[in-house]
C-alpha cells in the first residue's frame, strides 16, 4: 500500500491510518464529535426553520406554493455549487481550513436572511448559505471518518449527522415560541450566533493527515496522533507512513477507477433520491398538516416529533450499522420510509400520524446518516473529500427538485394523499440503488482483506 513516508537512519515505520483506525474513543474524539455535531446542527436548523416559516413567508411575501418550493430549493442549489467547488479544494488547502471558512459563510448568510426585504434577497442569502453548507458538510464527514476509531466510525458519523435533527428540533421549537412574538425574522437572525464556532473549530479540530504530511507539518500531526491514543508514545524516530490511496492528485476521474464507476453512480442516485424525500417532506410537512386541517402549532409539533425520532433512530441505526454493515441496513431503512410516508395519506388520526412521521424520520434520516459514514469508507483516504463533495453535490439535485416538485403539485391542487405518495415512491428507488452497489470494490473491504 503506497503512501507518504520519510526515511531516516534507524527509523521505525508507523502506519498513521492504522494507528488512528485502532484507537479507542477518548476525550479527543469526544471534542471532535461535539464540534462537528454543533456544525451539523446549523444545517438542520436552516432546513427545518424554513419549513416551519413557510406559511408565514408565503403571507409576508405573497408567495405561491410553487414559489415557496423554489425558494426552498435555493439553499440546495447553493449546496450543490459549494460541494462541487469548495469541497475538493479541501484536499489542497486542508479540511479544517475549509470547515472554518464555510462556517463563517453559513452563519452570516442565515443572519442576513432575517434582514431580507424581498423574495429575491431572501433567496440570494439562502443560496449563499447553501454554498457554505456544500463546502462544510462533506469535509466534516471526511475529517471525522479519518480521525475516529474504526470500530465506532459508523455510529459516530451517524451521531454527527443527527445534528441535522437536533437543529431541526430546535428550529421547530424556536418557531413555536418565537413566531407569535418576533415573526419569521427572529428565528433567522438568531441563526447568526454559530459564527462563534469558527475560532473554536480552528483551535480544536485536527487537520487531515495527508494535508499535514504534504506540508511537512509532522509535529502537529504527531500531536493529534498522540491525542487519539494518549496512553501510547509515538517513537521519536518513527517514520510516518500515510496512505494516500496510490494517488496524490484527486481529480473526479479517480473515483471512477478500480471498478468503482458503477457503484459511484449508484451512490449518487441513492443519495440524491433520498434527499428528494427528506427535503420535500421536511419543508412541506407543516403546510401539508395545515392543509389537512391541523393548526400551524400542531404542524410544528409534527416537526418536533420528526426530529426527536430521527435523533434516536440515527444513533440506533449507527450502532446496528457497526454490527451488520451499513449496506445491509440501508435497504431496510429506505423501505421503512416508503411505508410510513405512503400510509400517512390514508389516516387523519393525530396519534397515528405522529407514529408514522416518527417512522418516516427514522427511515430516511437514519439512512442518510448511515450512508454518510458508508460513502467515505468506500474510497481511499486521499480522495474521500473529493468523493464526498461530488456525491454531496450531484446528490443535492434531489434536494433541489424535491421542494420545488412538491410545491408544484400543491399549486396544481394535488390531493393530500397523492402528494404523500409522490414523496414516498423515491424510497423504492433508493432501496434498489443501494442493493446494486458493488461492495467488492470498496476500499474498506479491500483493507479488511489485506489485514
- Percent above pLDDT 70 for the chain: 90
How confident is residue 246, by pLDDT bands cut at 50, 70 and 90?
Answer: very low
How many other C-beta atoms can be found within 10 angstroms of the C-beta atom of residue 203?
Answer: 9
Q: What is the DSSP letter of 18?
A: H
Burial class (CB in 10 A: 0-12, 13-18, 19+), 117: exposed
| Relative orientation angle of helices 397-411 and 384-395, to the nearest 10 degrees | 10
Burial class (CB in 10 A: 0-12, 13-18, 19+), 200: middle
Give the C-alpha separation, 114 to 122, whole Å.
8
Mean pLDDT of 375-385: 79
Asked if pLDDT for residue 365 goes beyond 50, the answer is yes
What's the pLDDT tens digit per position in 38-62?
999 987 887 678 888 888 898 888 8
Residue-wise pLDDT tens digits, 317-329: 878 888 888 888 9
Is the pLDDT reported for residue 247 higher than 50? no
What pLDDT, on a 0 to 100 scale, did the predictor assign at position 236? 66
Rounded Cα distance, 164 and 229, in Å? 29
Three-class DSSP labels, 60-115: HCCCCHHHHHHHHHHHHHHHHHHHHHHHHHHHHHCHHHHHHHHHHHHHHHHHHHCC
Look at residue 434 in the predicted model and tell me its pLDDT. Answer: 92
Residue 293 — left, alpha, or beta (φ > 0 → left; ψ -120 to 50 → alpha)?
Answer: left
Could you give the CA distance from residue 444 to residue 38 in angstroms, rounded to a whole number? 28
pLDDT per position as a tens digit, 383-417: 777 787 777 777 778 888 988 999 899 888 888 89
Angle, alpha carbons 396-435-141 (nearest 5°): 40
Whole-prediction pTM: 0.73
pLDDT grade, residue 188 (50/70/90)?
A: very high
**In the structure, what pLDDT confidence band is assigned to residue 252 with cuts at 50, 70 and 90?**
confident
Percentage of residues in the chain with pLDDT exceeding 90? 25
Of 123-127, 193-197, 250-254, least confident by mean pLDDT is 250-254
pLDDT interval class at 100 (50, 70, 90)? very high
Checking if the pLDDT of 344 tops 90, the result is yes
- What per-residue confidence (pLDDT) applies to 251? 66
The Cα–Cα gap between 125 and 75 comes to: 8
How do 238-243 and 12-15 pair as beta strands? parallel
62 near 92, Cβ under 8 Å? Answer: no
Q: What average pLDDT does this structure show over 367-380?
A: 84
State the pLDDT confidence band at 449, using cuts at 50, 70 and 90.
Answer: low
Q: How far apart are CA 47 and CA 76, in angstroms?
A: 10
In angstroms, rounded to a whole number, what is the distance separating the alpha carbons of residues 146 and 153?
9
Please give the Cα distance from 16 to 383 (Å, whole number): 17
Model confidence at 134: pLDDT above 70: yes
- Per-residue pLDDT band for 372 (boundaries 50, 70, 90) equals confident
Residue 358: pLDDT above 60? yes
Residue 286: the pLDDT is 86
Domains (ranges, CATH) in the chain? 18-450 (1.20.1250.20)
In contact, 311 and 364? CB cutoff 8 Å:
no
Band of residue 240 on the pLDDT scale cut at 50, 70, 90: low
Q: Is the model's pLDDT at 121 over the cut of 80?
A: yes
Rounded Cα distance, 162 and 32, in Å? 15
Cell of 351: 396519534
pLDDT tens for residues 137-168? Answer: 888 888 888 888 877 887 788 778 778 878 88
**Structure confidence at residue 424 as a pLDDT band (50, 70, 90):** very high
Q: How far is the CA of 165 from the CAs of 79, 200, 207, in angstroms?
A: 18, 22, 26
CA pair distance 157, 60, nearest whole angstrom? 38
SS3 238: strand
Predicted confidence (pLDDT) per residue in 256-272, tens digit: 777 778 988 899 999 99
Q: d(Cα 308, Cα 305) in Å, to the nearest integer?
A: 5
Instruction: Give SS3 for 12.
Output: strand
Q: How confident is residue 34, by pLDDT bands cut at 50, 70 and 90?
A: very high
**Higher pLDDT among residues 420 and 15, named by residue:** 420
pLDDT over 60 at 245, yes or no: no
Residue 279 has pLDDT above 80, yes or no: yes
Task: Give φ, ψ of 425 to 5 degrees.
Answer: -55, -40
pLDDT tens digits for 12-24?
667 776 767 777 8
User: In whole angstroms, what is the distance from residue 78 CA to residue 126 CA?
Assistant: 8
Q: Among 104, 110, 98, 108, which residue's Cα sits nearest to residue 44?
A: 110
How confident is the model at residue 89, as a pLDDT? 80
Q: Is the pLDDT of residue 129 over 50?
A: yes
Amino acid at each position: 500500500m503506497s503512501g507518504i513516508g520519510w526515511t531516516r537512519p534507524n527509523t521505525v515505520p508507523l502506519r498513521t491510518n492504522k494507528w488512528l483506525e485502532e484507537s479507542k474513543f477518548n476525550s479527543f474524539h469526544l471534542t471532535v464529535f461535539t464540534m462537528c455535531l454543533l456544525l451539523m446542527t446549523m444545517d438542520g436548523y436552516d432546513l427545518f426553520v424554513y419549513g416551519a416559516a413557510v406559511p408565514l413567508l408565503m403571507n409576508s411575501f405573497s408567495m405561491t406554493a410553487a414559489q415557496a418550493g423554489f425558494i426552498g430549493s435555493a439553499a440546495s442549489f447553493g449546496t450543490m455549487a459549494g460541494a462541487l467547488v469548495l469541497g475538493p479544494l479541501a484536499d489542497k488547502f486542508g479540511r479544517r481550513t475549509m470547515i472554518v471558512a464555510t462556517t463563517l459563510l453559513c452563519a452570516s448568510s442565515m443572519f442576513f436572511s432575517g434582514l431580507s426585504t424581498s423574495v429575491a434577497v431572501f433567496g440570494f442569502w439562502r443560496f449563499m448559505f447553501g454554498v457554505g453548507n456544500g463546502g462544510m458538510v462533506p469535509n466534516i464527514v471526511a475529517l471525522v471518518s479519518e480521525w475516529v476509531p474504526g470500530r465506532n466510525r459508523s455510529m459516530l458519523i451517524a451521531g454527527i449527522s443527527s445534528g441535522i435533527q437536533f437543529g431541526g428540533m430546535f428550529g421547530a421549537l424556536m418557531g413555536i415560541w418565537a413566531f407569535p412574538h418576533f415573526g419569521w425574522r427572529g428565528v433567522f437572525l438568531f441563526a447568526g450566533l454559530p459564527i462563534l464556532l469558527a475560532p473554536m473549530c480552528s483551535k480544536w479540530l485536527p487537520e487531515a493527515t495527508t494535508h499535514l504530511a504534504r506540508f511537512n507539518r509532522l509535529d502537529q500531526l504527531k500531536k493529534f496522533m498522540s491525542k487519539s491514543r494518549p496512553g501510547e508514545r509515538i517513537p521519536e524516530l518513527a517514520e510516518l507512513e500515510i496512505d494516500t490511496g496510490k494517488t496524490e492528485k484527486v481529480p473526479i476521474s479517480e473515483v471512477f477507477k478500480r471498478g468503482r464507476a458503477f457503484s459511484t453512480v449508484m451512490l449518487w442516485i441513492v443519495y440524491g433520491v433520498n434527499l428528494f424525500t427528506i427535503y420535500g417532506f421536511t419543508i412541506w410537512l407543516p403546510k401539508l398538516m395545515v392543509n389537512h386541517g391541523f393548526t400551524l402549532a400542531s404542524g410544528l409539533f409534527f416537526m418536533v416529533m420528526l426530529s426527536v425520532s430521527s435523533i434516536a433512530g440515527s444513533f440506533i441505526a449507527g450502532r446496528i450499522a457497526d454490527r451488520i454493515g451499513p449496506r445491509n441496513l440501508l435497504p431496510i431503512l429506505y423501505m421503512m420510509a416508503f411505508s410510513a410516508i405512503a400510509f400517512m395519506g390514508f389516516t387523519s388520526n393525530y396519534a397515528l400520524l405522529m407514529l408514522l412521521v416518527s417512522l418516516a424520520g427514522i427511515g430516511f434520516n437514519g439512512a442518510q446518516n448511515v450512508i454518510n459514514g458508508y460513502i467515505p469508507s468506500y474510497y481511499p483516504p486521499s480522495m474521500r473529500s473529493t468523493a464526498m463533495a461530488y456525491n454531496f453535490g450531484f446528490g443535492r439535485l434531489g434536494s433541489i427538485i424535491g421542494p420545488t416538485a412538491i410545491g408544484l403539485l400543491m399549486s396544481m391542487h394535488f390531493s393530500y394523499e397523492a402528494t404523500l405518495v409522490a414523496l414516498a415512491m423515491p424510497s423504492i428507488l433508493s432501496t434498489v440503488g443501494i442493493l446494486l452497489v458493488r461492495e467488492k470494490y470498496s476500499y474498506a473491504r479491500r483493507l479488511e482483506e489485506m489485514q
